[in-house]
Amino acid sequence: MRKAIGIDLGGTNICGGLVDEGGNILKRASKRTGTGGRRVVLEKIADIINELMEGEPIEGVGIGSPGFIDVEGGQVLSNGGNIKGWAYTKIREELYLVFKHLPVFIENDANVAAICEEWLGAAKGMDNFVMLTLGTGVGGAIYSKKLGLWHGSNYQGGELGHTILYPNGRPCICGQRGCVERYVSGLAVERNYLELTGERLRGEEIFKNSLSQPKCKEVVHRFAMDLAILLITLKNMLDPAGIVIGGGVINSRYYWWDLMIDHYERNCNNPTGTTIVPAKFLNDSGIIGAAKLVFDRV
């Protein structure tokens, strides 16, 4: 049975897994991403790879990274997502210095989640779909069976978190104002609560408390409505067969999913024809999809 390592690099956590060619995660390892910057993140990725490959024959490593990713060159371009100093990191080149015998493949983090969901998950059998990953930021991917993943001319295709939701709104790390991820990410939920109450509370607690605390309920309702607006835009722009929603925030969907669907159905000019579903593999899709890069390319 062939095995590969998949790494899902996020703004909060670095999660890795030893994956077989059936998509089963055989072993796991993770570390907090932290705020130490590029060098520290690379060292943590290397530590996870070493831990997972101990005593295991593997065919390579796949990494899903935030930001604009040059998949041929294996490096981050001008936008490194929510990781300090990650822009312009030559991930493949840096890891080759440590793992000279291992093939390493790099792809955008939302794209690897889409690869997993198309292979084994909620998008299996769909001719085309859009993937949204809601985490520290918001990632996106556009896939069709005919064309595969849409990378665009500058590896910026599918960057749905940086479409404008509120013109001249909150400043974003990408340099724009009013981007989607400033309003419907995990960090955005916490910021909405801070602006409303003057107090800090983790996103998980805000969702949980929305059943009993009016201020938390208000924040979660706003999140659900903003996300629905994005879904309506995607429906009218791309008319996909499906929209799959994953990322860490999907674990709190009990508190907002029905609100989001209700707002989508009441405000979209034609809500039928596009299936909106949670990712089957939830937060594991990044690990599995990253490993699939290895199985497809080695």
On the question of pLDDT at 283 being above 90, the answer is: no
Pairwise CA distance, residues 289 & 217, whole Å: 34
DSSP codes, 188-209 = HHHHHHHHHHS----HHHHHHH
Supply the pLDDT for residue 256: 98
Put residue 247 in one of left, alpha, beta given phi > 0 → left and psi -120 to 50 → alpha.
Answer: left
Supply the pLDDT for residue 268: 98
Radius of gyration of the chain (CA): 19
Domains of the chain with bracketed CATH: 3-112+283-297 (3.30.420.40), 125-279 (3.30.420.40)
Q: What is the mean pLDDT of residues 48-69?
A: 95
Q: What is the mean pLDDT of residues 233-252?
A: 95
> Is the Cβ–Cβ distance between 140 and 158 less than 8 Å?
yes
User: Distance from CA of residue 14 to its chain's centroid?
Assistant: 12
Supply the pLDDT for residue 272: 94
Number of neighbouring beta carbons within 10 Å of residue 269:
7
Supply the pLDDT for residue 84: 87
On the question of pLDDT at 79 being above 90, the answer is: no
Main-chain dihedrals φ then ψ at residue 235, nearest 5 degrees: -60, -45
Q: In residues, how long is the chain?
A: 298
Supply the pLDDT for residue 81: 83
pLDDT one-digit tens code per residue, 191-211: 999 999 999 999 999 999 999
DSSP codes, 85-147 = T-TT--HHHHHHTT-TTS-EEEEEHHHHHHHHHHHTSTTTT-SEEEEEEESSSEEEEEEETTT
Q: What is the mean pLDDT of residues 70-96?
A: 93
Q: Helix crossing, 285-297 with 109-119: angle to 10°?
A: 80
Mean pLDDT, the chain, rounded, equals: 95
Query: 170 CB contacts (<8 Å, ≥6 apart)?
Result: 177, 178, 179, 182, 183, 191
Query: 264 CB contacts (<8 Å, ≥6 apart)?
Result: 228, 231, 232, 271, 276
Pairwise CA distance, residues 143 & 149, whole Å: 5
Supply the pLDDT for residue 213: 97
On the question of pLDDT at 143 being above 90, the answer is: yes
pTM: 0.91
Supply the pLDDT for residue 185: 95
On the question of pLDDT at 37 being above 90, the answer is: no
Q: For residue 54, what are its two tokens?
A: 């101990």
Q: In Å, how far are 74, 180, 263 from 208, measured between CA atoms?
A: 39, 23, 20
Query: 137 CB contacts (<8 Å, ≥6 apart)?
Result: 11, 66, 81, 82, 161, 181, 185, 187
> Is the Cβ–Cβ distance between 142 and 125 less than 8 Å?
no
User: Distance from CA of residue 100 to its chain's centroid?
Assistant: 28
